[in-house]
Amino acid sequence: MEENYLEILNPPQREAVLKTEGPTMIIAGAGSGKTRVLTYRIAHLLKEKNVDPFSILSLTFTNKAAKEMRHRIEELVGTDARNLWMGTFHSVFSRILRSEADKLGYPSHFTIYDSDDSKSLIKNIVKYYGLDDKLYKPNVVLNRISSAKNRLVSWQEYTNNPIYLADDTENGKPEMGKIYKEYVKRCFKADAMDFDDLLFNTNVLFRDHVDVLNKYQQRFKYVMVDEFQDTNISQYLITKKLAAVRRNICVVGDDAQSIYAFRGADIQNILNFEKDYPELNIIKLEQNYRSSKTIVGAANSIIGKNKNQLRKSVWTDNDEGSLIDLIKATTDNEEGKLVASAIFESKNQDHYHNSDFAILYRTNSQSRALEEALRRNNIKYKIVGGLSFYQRKEIKDILGYVRFSVNQNDEQALRRIINTPKRGIGAASVEKLIVAAAENNADLWTALENATQILGGRAASAVNDFVTMIKSFKLTVAKKDAFEAASHIAKNSGLLKELYDDKTIEGRNRYENVQELLNGIKEFVDNPESEDKSMASFLQEIALLTDADNDKDEDKDYVTLMTIHSSKGLEFKNVFVVGMEEDLFPSQMMISSRQDLEEERRLFYVAITRAEKKLYMSYALTRYRFGRLKTCEPSRFLEEIDKDFLKMNLKFSAPSSPAGDYAKNFIGNTTQPVRKPVNQAVVHKPSADFKPSNTSKLAEGDKVEHPKFGFGKVTKIEIQGANKKAHITFEKAGEKTLLLSFAKLRIL
């Protein structure tokens, strides 16, 4: 091995790499090397234990993470790494489902419906049953179905068990079970699986076909799972079944970073793991290698507020680092400007590249103001996630043709393309064809082929032409590689011409996007790593791209903008967490209980722990949300950070502030007390009846109590702009300067 990896690791990390047999669980804080341990463990199995790469299964949270891990292992052990089974749950098990599809009554070329397809199918079903579409919103229905599937509740169980009906009736949606049933039926008829089916059906496959399960149990001698805290029960059961014979399973995760409970992830899996494997080897990693002491300290002070957690201590040997900059802006646009100029300034001063910065936000819609400011300052940026390339209309249209040429039962693809470009086949005609197919127990394609009997007239002849065209595409797809097939389809479907004829700027953009798609397909075909160069194989690859995988730029030097959810597992030198406002973060929509608040807090912990060197947080006093200007309050999470780690920006920038003025906007906390070592904060047990007082009348000489610093006396009040600061000498904690809008003080 070109690198002696065992020497680089600390003792518990080394133990985790060396102990390859039997069940192992590593639950450890952010940045403690969990992912690195998994990587080295696989390298070790390949190189030192001569394990066949085909017998190692490693599950990651994004495809990008899998790619990076594979790349790293290749550096360590060579091209053997290419043969590892590595990817997201969805991509690995869709591959297995394809080769076993016949056991479930599916063809191996089944289509994967994305959430748009699923929602539009639900919309059709709601209409078909004449239900109220305001009540049965596609989003709501899909979530309900999805959560049932992720708990392995089939439609049969759902409709038979009165609990679900009672629950749905109470929510005013008693027909949910009926929709679930029809949805499953239609997907099956369309030879399609949605995302949740990929896991649900894998469970069914392993439950009903012991021989198949046996085969994979023998194949996968080692099973590994990263980000274990975010697996749902359906995923958990798959790994449990696969590892049942050899029991060589290693899971790594951090309960403090569990952020997908709203999608069915279950921390309970961590607790169950101990029960399922009594011989379990538990390894703790406590040293953080990623972040400065300040960042680790701030993260610890936040997560300590959660009641529901496995206590662990995280520390670091890294430098103290700079304090967290807190940026206060009057508006969301000004927030964008201040962030852009902070990046500009830091690049100049510390010689950072764009790629050393990430801006993280709670919701995608926050990116607009930031993008505008970055563009103005000529700072290259890239939004990861959001409306991905493959979700654009023109791309979906072309792919719709491609999908339908591969699978003629794909109802959602058919609906998309049958009249795009316009060829005189209206929605009513399509509906008639679908109903006719259902009534005659025939598939959709047969109905299309018999359009003359079903529709008659002009519509029928248009459908006949369409059928002839698709037949020729079908042949092309079967005979040619993905690139040749896609080029043929783009040209002969009439789509490319329609876009070419549109000379508006948007039209040009769309045309270029289609060219870009074709480039991407060419790249796929030319890549020596793609074994199967068919269109079906390309479709499979792109159907499973996650938000965080949307990253195919050649030039890598850009600032990354993404939601905190997408940032999991990643690290950046400098991180901005923007929009630190009540109702936005924590999100108003998400917090209806203490548990939800704790999930938001874990999300905040994930955000903070992405940073290596420096962390910035910002909030605006007003923000446009849902089309209205709203005044905002700083997030409660800001108050929860130990003030020792914060530096305040106490001055507003002038609205015309040019880039580069960032430093002037910072006054900083000049009377910063002597820093305490991380993890040894003064602990004061507040009086039982502790209630913060209104501090607007606080004056010099007043005696106060602070929940953490204890008792003290105000020595000076300082007013700066809209902010009031108090200098307080605490009996135990010493001199502190507190911002009164934040500090929780009780006047005695």
Among 12, 13, 59, 293, binds ligand ATP (CB under 6 A): 13
Give the whole-angstrom CA distance, residue 338 versus residue 354. Answer: 16
CA atoms within 13 A on the CB side of 591: 16
Which runs of E-coded beta strand occur in 1-75? 24-27, 56-60
| 269 contact choice in ligand ATP, Mg ion, none (CB below 5 to 8 Å, kind-dependent) | none
From residue 49, how far is each of 43, 46, 82, 150, 344 by CA, in Å?
9, 6, 17, 36, 49
User: Is residue 569 involved in binding Mg ion (CB under 5 A)?
Assistant: yes
User: Is residue 62 involved in binding Mg ion (CB under 5 A)?
Assistant: no
Is 330 annotated as belonging to a binding site? no
**Minimum gap (Å) between residue 414 Cβ and ligand ATP:** 42
From residue 541, how far is each of 71, 520, 549 by CA, in Å?
18, 12, 11
Is 291 annotated as belonging to a binding site? no
**Minimum gap (Å) between residue 33 Cβ and Mg ion:** 8
Coil, strand or helix at 214: helix
> Quick one: which segment of 32-40, 86-94, 203-211, 694-702 binds ligand ATP (CB under 6 A)?
32-40
> How many residues interact with ligand ATP (rule CB under 6 A)?
18
User: Is residue 520 involved in binding Mg ion (CB under 5 A)?
Assistant: no
- Please give the residue whose beta carbon sits closest to ligand ATP in the complex: 33
**Three-state SS sequence of 715-737:** EEEEEECCEEEEEEEECCCEEEE
Q: How far is CA 483 from the centre of its chain?
A: 30
Choice between 254 and 411, CB closer to ligand ATP: 254
- Please give the residue whose beta carbon sits closest to Mg ion in the complex: 35
Is 32 annotated as belonging to a binding site? yes
Catalytic pick from 20, 24, 34, 230?
34
Neighbours of 707 (CB within 10 A): 15
**Does 227 participate in catalysis according to the annotation?**
yes
Choice between 30 and 406, CB closer to ligand ATP: 30
**Three-state SS sequence of 178-206:** HHHHHHHHHHHHCCEEEHHHHHHHHHHHH
Scored b (16 or more CB within 10 A) or e, 635-670 reads bbbbebbbbbbbbbbbebbeeebebebbeebbeebe
**Does 372 participate in catalysis according to the annotation?**
no
**Minimum gap (Å) between residue 207 Cβ and ligand ATP:** 32
> Quick one: which segment of 33-41, 89-97, 166-174, 373-381 binds ligand ATP (CB under 6 A)?
33-41
Backbone phi, psi, residue 355, to 5°? -70, -5
Backbone phi, psi, residue 239, to 5°? -65, -35
User: Is residue 33 involved in binding ligand ATP (CB under 6 A)?
Assistant: yes
Residues 242-261 that bind ligand ATP (CB under 6 A): 254, 257
Is 336 annotated as belonging to a binding site? no
Query: What pairs with residue 615 in β-bridges?
Result: 575
Scored b (16 or more CB within 10 A) or e, 94-127 reads bbbbbebbeebebeebbbbbbeebbbbbbebbbe
User: Is residue 13 involved in binding Mg ion (CB under 5 A)?
Assistant: no
611-625 and 572-577 beta bridge pairing: parallel
Among 20, 24, 35, 60, binds ligand ATP (CB under 6 A): 35
> Quick one: which segment of 7-15, 66-74, 488-496, 524-532 binds ligand ATP (CB under 6 A)?
7-15
**Does 35 participate in catalysis according to the annotation?**
yes
Among 177, 264, 569, 712, binds ligand ATP (CB under 6 A): 569
**Does 481 participate in catalysis according to the annotation?**
no
> Quick one: which segment of 29-37, 145-153, 288-296, 591-599 binds Mg ion (CB under 5 A)?
29-37
**Minimum gap (Å) between residue 62 Cβ and ligand ATP:** 12
User: Is residue 31 involved in binding ligand ATP (CB under 6 A)?
Assistant: yes
**Does 691 participate in catalysis according to the annotation?**
no
Give the whole-angstrom CA distance, residue 334 versus residue 288. Answer: 34
Choice between 31 and 321, CB closer to ligand ATP: 31
User: Is residue 290 involved in binding ligand ATP (CB under 6 A)?
Assistant: yes
From residue 439, how far is each of 2, 106, 423, 426, 460 by CA, in Å?
65, 21, 26, 20, 19
Residues 586-615 that bind ligand ATP (CB under 6 A): 609
Which tokens hold the place of 446? 């047969």
CB 188 within 8 A of CB 22: no
| 411 contact choice in ligand ATP, Mg ion, none (CB below 5 to 8 Å, kind-dependent) | none
Q: Of the candidates 225, 213, 280, which has an alpha carbon nearest to the alpha carbon of residue 57?
A: 225
Residues found near Mg ion in the complex (CB under 5 A): 34-35, 569
Residues found near ligand ATP in the complex (CB under 6 A): 8-10, 13, 30-36, 254, 257, 289-290, 569, 571, 609
Binding residues for ATP: 28-35
Q: Which residues are designated catalytic?
A: 34-35, 226-227, 257, 610
